[in-house]
Amino acid sequence: MSHTWDPQRYLTYADERGRPFVELLARVRAEGPRTVVDLGCGPGNLTALLARRWPGVRITGLDSSAEMVEAATREVEGVRFERRDLREWLEAGGEPVDVLVSNATLQWVPGHLDLLPAMLARVAPGGWLALQVPGNVGEPSHTLRTELAAQAPYAEHTRGAAVPASHDPATYLDALARLGAEVDAWETTYLHVLTGEDPVFTWVSGTGARPTLQSLPDDLRPGFEDELRRRLREAYPPGPAGVVLPFRRVFVVAHKPGAVA
């Protein structure tokens, strides 16, 4: 079931969503790379950080969303953006890159663990593969949506809507180590302090819940949203600091053996 992304809604919590990318990039020890590719670049705000770290380097951002690529091309200078599915890019082959980054994207690709060999193959000897995926699918921010979507009258419409999925750090470490890479894998649970009306709903409606919401017809969507808002308010009540959203993320940085050509 197809869906589209809204760059502005996605950027509502840009600072909170961007922090894991910065921490992922800090563990990539590439010096003077010639080519860098960002798989699943979104609106390009984080791809711009790659250009700041490695000025003058050929950097390409790829995303399957026309809306995201349009926003990135409009807002970010010095980076080439293309609308392209990452599986298509991997299958096409081509010149290996020195740094391959995939941030908060692979969770939308079913069976993405099977893509790791192809991803590492697209990295030049001595190069780096860095990925980050959300690891919070067991939290109420996801489970409440899943439970509600399985109920009538929503189930017949939401069946087949895309849902994110990921693995534990050890699973990624094992898979990439078996391919001969030196792997650094870890996880972090952030405590995002959110403000505003129904902030957790605002967060999930721009990412994990968006395909489900878009799968619903116009006459059912408002009722679904109202009920999901209510359930999320109960699960995430405001405290002294605001509404706290725990968010676990999984990080992997793999260094491919060999000298940089």
The domains found in the chain, sorted by start residue, are 7-255 (3.40.50.150)
More confident residue, 9 or 243: 243
Whether the model pTM is above 0.75: yes
Give 204-245 pLDDT, tens digit per residue. Answer: 988 878 899 999 999 999 999 999 999 999 999 999 999 999
**What confidence category does residue 17 fall into, taking pLDDT thresholds of 50, 70 and 90?**
confident
Residues 130, 25: contact at Cβ < 8 Å?
yes
Beta bridge pairs of residue 190: 247
Q: Does residue 153 have a cis bond before it (omega within 30 degrees)? A: yes
Closest to 163 measured CA to CA, from 221, 197, 209: 209
Q: 92, 63 in Cβ contact below 8 A?
A: no
Select from 2, 48, 3 the least CA-distant residue to 21: 48
Q: How many helices (H) and strands (E) does the chain have?
A: 12, 7
Amino acid at residue number 210: R
pLDDT tens digits, residue range 94-144? 999 999 999 999 999 999 999 999 999 999 999 999 999 999 999 999 999
* Farthest CA pair distance, the chain: 59
